[in-house]
Amino acid sequence: MAEHHEELDEAPEPPTLDPETLARRRAALAHVRKFGDPVLRTEARQVVRFDAELRDEIARMGVLMHDAYGIGLAATQVGILHRVLVYRVESDSPVNALVNPVLEWSSKEEEWAEEGCLSLPAVHVDVERPVHVRVRAQDESGGAILVEASGLEARVIQHEMDHLDGVLILDRTPRDQRKEGMRALRAALEAAEDDAA
């Protein structure tokens, strides 16, 4: 069904990571809320205060996303119910932050692609989304920004905006893939619990 296999806020674990980088990735992932945590099903609130605390929060999310090898992260995923997301589609570009994003327009043209999620270990499912979007948002100082995005960038933004509304990729994938995804997820969460025990 998927024409290509792009990972969403989860990037595949590169096999050549040195132990220190791996440890950093694990530590970052430990800060990300996982499926079953009710916060992931809660709608995030509008940000009204653009202060130093918000800027710290955004900076921390950027570092966490980087360390976790993600390409996007919603505040919801770190337990903060603010309408804030960060993303970076190319590993050498700066981290983009969107505050209070609103989908202003999306294309009729849609496409399927495989997505993963830092909150759903081991889940890789196909999701159909508009190819092009226009999103109004604010930057970390409250200034207005307009983002026109296509392809992977548009997909990441939509995936993270879903998190702000409590929506997960399991809700957007066909039934057979949802069942398969839930199975993989339960096994991964159980294995993580055994590790911690």
- Of 7 and 9, nearer to Zn ion (C-beta) is 9
The H or E element containing residue 42 is none
Binding range to Zn ion, per CB under 5 A, among 6-14, 44-52, 170-178, 183-191: 6-14
Q: How far apart are CA 172 and CA 170, in angstroms?
A: 5
Residue 162 as a binder of Zn ion (CB under 5 A): the answer is: no
Determine the angle formed by the axes of helices 19-30 and 52-67, rounding to 10 degrees: 130
Binding-residue total with Zn ion (CB under 5 A) = 2
Q: Which two tokens stand for residue 181?
A: 């995804």
Q: Least distance (Å) from Zn ion to the CB of residue 18?
A: 26
| Residue pointed to by tokens 């997909």 | 155
| Contacting residue, 11, 117, 170, 185, with Zn ion by CB under 5 A | 117
> Given 140, 153, 160, 193, which residue is catalytic?
160
Distance between the two ends of the chain, CA-based, in angstroms? 39
Part in contact with Zn ion (CB under 5 A); list of ranges 33-41, 44-52, 109-117, 172-180:
109-117
**Would you give the DSSP letter of residue 51?**
S
CB atoms within 10 A of CB 137: 23
90 counts as catalytic: no
Among 5-13, 32-40, 99-107, 135-143, which window interacts with Zn ion (CB under 5 A)? Answer: 5-13
Minimum distance from CB of 12 to Zn ion (Å)? 15
Within 28-57, the residues that bind Zn ion by CB under 5 A are none
At residue 5, what are phi and psi to the nearest 5 degrees?
-120, 85
Residue with the CB atom nearest Zn ion in the bound state: 117
Contact (CB, 8 A) for 72 and 8: yes
9 near Zn ion (CB under 5 A): yes
Please give the positions annotated as active site. 160
Residues that bind Zn ion (CB under 5 A): 9, 117
